[in-house]
Amino acid sequence: MIERFIDLWDKFGGELLKASLETLDMMSTALFMALLIGLTLGFVLFLSGSSGIRPSPLLYGILSGLINLIRSVPFILLIIVMIPFNRLLIGTGFGVDASKVPLSIIGIALYARFTEQSLLDVDKSIYETSYTLGASLWQYFRHFLLTEARSGLILSFTTTAISLLSYSTVMGVIGGGGLGYLAMSQGYQNFHYDLMWLIIIGLVVLVQLIQVSGNLLAKRFDRR
């Protein structure tokens, strides 16, 4: 058992390391974008929605429709139809960097929707509370909405991360590499089933780790 593992490592160690770094690279960019832009768009959705403090059916309709669109196109097709967009944005349609684009887009769409839902769960009266305590609009976001919704936001970010990890495994389509691609190409298609299983087990463990740390973090920030 151990010997087989060492054997595997001798043969594929380098490739495994490279693939892991590629996955890490794609994931960290996509997660960063999801957090930055997804969270912001989630607030915009919440504020412009029918129960928000700046209702705007037009803005909400466009944003919400776009998010639904992104989420409803099968991901593998989304990757392909976005190739021209990748070119436009980063100058190339293929490779690890190009893969970050569709992965970020889906991450943003997912997390924007999750953020909106977490904010909708906060007690409706909180805006009046924040106004009467003398808060500005920014302080309403920062000290009221974010404070009350933070556990939900952490948990849904965890869910987003796990979904993105799963999405990242098909990035081989446009030469994105990563662990999923290695498992498919070397492991499955070249009959190195050991390698395939090793990667599957690795990913399972990784998902568990992400979920457990997300839960712990959410709990730490929950004073309710």
Partner 1 sequence: MVRLHHVTKSFKLDEKDTVVIDRISLEINESEIFGLVGGTGSGKSTILRLMTGFVEPDEGEIFLMGQKLDHESKYHLVKDTSMIFQGFHLLSNLNVIENVLLPGRLRSIKKAHNLTRARELLSFVGLEAFENARIRTLSGGQKQRVAIARSLMTQPRVIFCDEPTSALDEEMRGEILKLLRDINQTFGTTIVLVSHDIAVIKTLCHRVAVIEDGHIHQIFRLQPREMAPVSYEEAFYLD
151 binds partner 1 per the rule CB under 8 A: yes
Provide, rounded to whole angstroms, the least separation between the CB of residue 152 and partner 1. 10
Nearer to partner 1, 50 or 125 (CB): 125
Indicate which single residue of 37, 83, 87, 131 sits in contact with partner 1 (rule: CB under 8 A): 131
Indicate which single residue of 51, 92, 129, 166 sits in contact with partner 1 (rule: CB under 8 A): 129
- Residues 155-191, buried b or exposed e (16+ Cβ, 10 A)? bbbbebbbbbbebbbbbbbbebbbbbbbbbbbbeeee
Q: Are 86 and 101 in contact (CB under 8 A)?
A: yes
Provide, rounded to whole angstroms, the least separation between the CB of residue 42 and partner 1. 18
Indicate which single residue of 147, 166, 189, 190 sits in contact with partner 1 (rule: CB under 8 A): 147
Q: What is the dihedral of CA 24, 27, 33, 39, to 10 degrees?
A: -120
Which of the stretches 29-37, 118-126, 173-181, 193-201 binds partner 1 when contact is defined by CB under 8 A? 118-126
223 binds partner 1 per the rule CB under 8 A: yes
217 binds partner 1 per the rule CB under 8 A: no
Provide, rounded to whole angstroms, the least separation between the CB of residue 84 and partner 1. 45
How is residue 205 written in tokens? 């463990």
51 binds partner 1 per the rule CB under 8 A: no
55 binds partner 1 per the rule CB under 8 A: no
- Residues 102-139, buried b or exposed e (16+ Cβ, 10 A)? bbbbbbbbbbbbbbbbbbeebeeebbeebeeeebeeee
